[in-house]
Amino acid sequence: MTLAPEAPATPLIGSAPPSPAGPISAEEAATLPAPPQVDLPRALQVLRFNQRQIDFVFGARRRLGEVFRMQGIVPGGPVITSHPDHVQSLFTAKPEHAHSLTGESPLRPIVGPNSVLTAIGPRHLRQRKLLLPPFHGEAIARYEEMIVEATDRELDRWPLNTPIALAPRMQAITLDVIMSGIFGIEGTPERGTPEHALRRATKGLLRASTWRTAQLAELMNIGRDEPVGITKIGLDLLDRPTYQVIRERRAATDLEDRRDILSLLLQARTEEGEELSDRELRDELLALVLAGHETTANQLAWIWERLVRTPAAHDRLRDAVRGSDDAASARIVEATITEGMRSRPVIPIIGRRVLVPWRLGEYAVPADTPVTMSILLVHHREDVYPDPFAFRPERWDDDKPGTYTWIPFGGGVRRCLGAALAMAEQRIVLEAMARRLDITYVDPEPEHAVHRNVTMIPAAGARVTVLSRR
């Protein structure tokens, strides 16, 4: 009897058909149509985009195709695309052809217009160059021990057989990592010290930033260089201890032995040989805290929200990290994170303002148009990810993430500066949780996504019950 040859496994990763994109002349742009518009009243578009972005962008793509234009809070709302070739054209755009839209976000008055997050053009490249060294993979390896300790401390505290929301618990870990990695503040510092005041104020500000009133107040800050209203009051409370810590550290005699980012930045010099001013340091440090804390915590919460509802993936991970094959364990941890970031990207959309006419497939947009890339839509293209709504870490068993099809950290000269740190944190926390804890969901229904500031988070904070701990 001959055995029939095994049917080829259905590929779990494919590719999109090509679509031309990039800068074009005004004459060529005039020959191409503008992208179709979302056909809803403007107020409704803004509301739906902010409250239910998943339904909004998937609905618009179904009706209008992979490029469409919506109206936003300010006139001249963004075009939204989800084609990898369009993404590539924007990620690889020359700085004089496209600027990041974070420079126009409500973060601008909070961290100032000159931080790595908000600056554009040459100023952005200068700040990025200064900040790169402490974020390199090798530099990150030095923080790993501290992340392991912060994780174990936190896991030991979790109650058994009681529903808990993972997001705030993950934030406790990422706050420890940020305070230690960025400011060199370990654990809970002594009361009465600027370090203690800074940790408390940071925690308070991050908590307040989740309140609805704070989010509305942030909208008042759009387009400004300095904050107003309650945002200003909250920031003043944080600025005082921040400047105190900066001044004290500047006077420290052991800077060269210290590994935190503040100490490294105090020794950094620009190409012109200048050191960073207190204001520059404050802006950069605050940008890092804001960019790195909630994102990493909620990304981890999302991965668990998916895992506990996907027994095959959960079992595979648990078996791997509890087994003796370290290489297999590391591979499966990585695949689980990659799939989690694909299926629930905590930052669902990013953008550039194109400064010259731009082709996007069959359409063209004029100079000075905000063009956004829906990370959510890119990550759910059926031609790239068959069965896109399924959580299948095994997609990544034989495939590496594509530069323009897996984009939770953005790309090009604006790619997330903290990506290596965020990956290290996720690897350590995911591995420790899967190895030490038996976890199950509280409600079998998937959690909705809600939007907080620029992030997309699980509505109930990823509620789970820890059944046992080893």
Asked if 249 touches ligand HEM (CB under 6 A), the answer is no
CA nearest to 403, candidates 79, 90, 103:
90
What one-character DSSP code corresponds to residue 399? -
What one-character DSSP code corresponds to residue 450? E
**Length of the chain counted residue by residue:** 470
Contact 354, 86 (CB under 8 A): no
**Residue 266 CB, nearest distance to ligand HEM (Å)?**
17
Asked if 346 touches ligand HEM (CB under 6 A), the answer is yes
**Residue 301 CB, nearest distance to ligand HEM (Å)?**
11
**Residue 416 CB, nearest distance to ligand HEM (Å)?**
3
**Residue 455 CB, nearest distance to ligand HEM (Å)?**
8
CB-wise, 217 or 303, nearer to ligand HEM? 303
Cα 18 from chain centroid (whole Å):
27
Q: Which two tokens stand for residue 293?
A: 């804390």
**Residue 299 CB, nearest distance to ligand HEM (Å)?**
4
Strand partners, 358: 23, 365
Its sign, for the CA torsion 94, 98, 100, 103, is: positive
Asked if 175 touches ligand HEM (CB under 6 A), the answer is no
Q: Binders of ligand HEM among 5-44, rule CB under 6 A?
A: none
**Residue 407 CB, nearest distance to ligand HEM (Å)?**
7
Strand partners, 382: none
**Residue 35 CB, nearest distance to ligand HEM (Å)?**
21
Question: In the stretch 291-330, what mask flags binding to ligand HEM with x, by CB under 6 A?
Answer: xx--xx--x-------------------------------
Q: What share of the chain is helix, strand, coil (3-state, %, to 5)?
A: 50, 10, 40
Sheet strands side by side (includes 98-100) = 67-69, 79-81, 369-374, 349-354, 98-100
CB-wise, 29 or 410, nearer to ligand HEM? 410
Asked if 128 touches ligand HEM (CB under 6 A), the answer is yes
Q: Which two tokens stand for residue 458?
A: 């699980």
CB-wise, 29 or 347, nearer to ligand HEM? 347
Contact 322, 435 (CB under 8 A): yes
Enclosing H/E stretch for 100: strand 98-100
Specify the stretch interacting with ligand HEM by CB under 6 A; choose among 81-89, 156-164, 286-294, 396-404. 286-294
Q: Residues touching ligand HEM: how many (CB under 6 A)?
A: 25
**Residue 399 CB, nearest distance to ligand HEM (Å)?**
20
Asked if 350 touches ligand HEM (CB under 6 A), the answer is yes
Enclosing H/E stretch for 229: helix 229-250
CA distances from 111 to 134, 205, 281, 454 (A): 20, 13, 10, 15
Among 150, 155, 246, 288, binds ligand HEM (CB under 6 A): 288
CA nearest to 388, candidates 14, 7, 80, 62:
14
**Residue 405 CB, nearest distance to ligand HEM (Å)?**
14
Contact 97, 356 (CB under 8 A): yes
Question: In the stretch 91-120, what mask flags binding to ligand HEM with x, by CB under 6 A?
Answer: ---------x---------------xx---
Q: Binders of ligand HEM among 401-430, rule CB under 6 A?
A: 408-411, 414-418, 421-422
Q: How far apart are alpha carbons 63 and 441 in whole angstroms?
A: 35
Burial class (CB in 10 A: 0-12, 13-18, 19+), 19: middle
Specify the stretch interacting with ligand HEM by CB under 6 A; choose among 79-87, 140-148, 345-353, 440-448. 345-353
CB-wise, 234 or 410, nearer to ligand HEM? 410
CB-wise, 48 or 124, nearer to ligand HEM? 124
**Residue 346 CB, nearest distance to ligand HEM (Å)?**
5
Specify the stretch interacting with ligand HEM by CB under 6 A; choose among 69-77, 152-160, 271-279, 288-296. 288-296
Q: How far apart are alpha carbons 423 and 320 in whole angstroms?
A: 19
Residues in the site for ligand HEM, rule: CB under 6 A?
100, 116-117, 128, 287-288, 291-292, 295-296, 299, 346-347, 350, 408-411, 414-418, 421-422
